[in-house]
Amino acid sequence: MTRDNLLKWLLRLIGGVELLAIPFVFIPFSWMQAIHARLPEMEALLHAPALEYLARGLSAMYALHGAVVVFVSTDVVRFRPLIRFLGVAHLLFGLVMFGVSVAAALPLWWVLGEGPVIVTGGVLTLFLSRERRGA
């Protein structure tokens, strides 16, 4: 498998995972509370209009970003500059989310399962999107 094919599938994996946020834009908040209650080491998710707005808005933003990432995977040669930008953005965003998770005193499984995973996706994206010498 070529590096461009690996890049295409990595982008589709990243975008596909982010598209899983779509239902959380629409599901009843009580369902979000029930899911949250099943997570280990988490306090109750209390309803507040601003919290609901942020949860749904973040889900929509993740889904939108996921759609863009899947779209650019359709032509990695044409979109290589944007893909490299996304790689840098993911790397930086992952570092920010790591810091936010630590500052928010989230459980270790959350801290390690979000920021470092996003950083890894960014690093892999940058590695796989490098220009080929002589191409």
Output the tens digit of pLDDT for each of the chain's 135 residues.
899 999 999 999 999 999 999 999 999 999 999 999 999 998 899 999 999 999 999 999 999 999 999 999 999 999 999 999 999 999 999 999 999 999 999 999 999 999 999 999 999 999 999 977 655
Residues 122 and 119: their CA atoms lie apart, in Å, by 5
Q: CA angle, 95 as apex, 92 and 100 as ends, to 5°?
A: 125
Question: Encoding tokens for residue 105?
Answer: 């005193």
Distant-in-sequence, close-in-space partners of 33: CB < 8 Å, separation ≥ 6: 44, 45, 47
Residues 82 and 90: their CA atoms lie apart, in Å, by 12
User: What ranges do the domains of the chain cover?
Assistant: 3-128
Judge residue 126's burial from the number of C-beta atoms within 10 Å of its C-beta, 0-12 exposed, 13-18 middle, 19 or more buried.
middle
* Of 100, 119, 101, 99, residue with least CA distance to 110: 101
* Of 9, 128, 117, 120, residue with least CA distance to 80: 128
pTM: 0.91
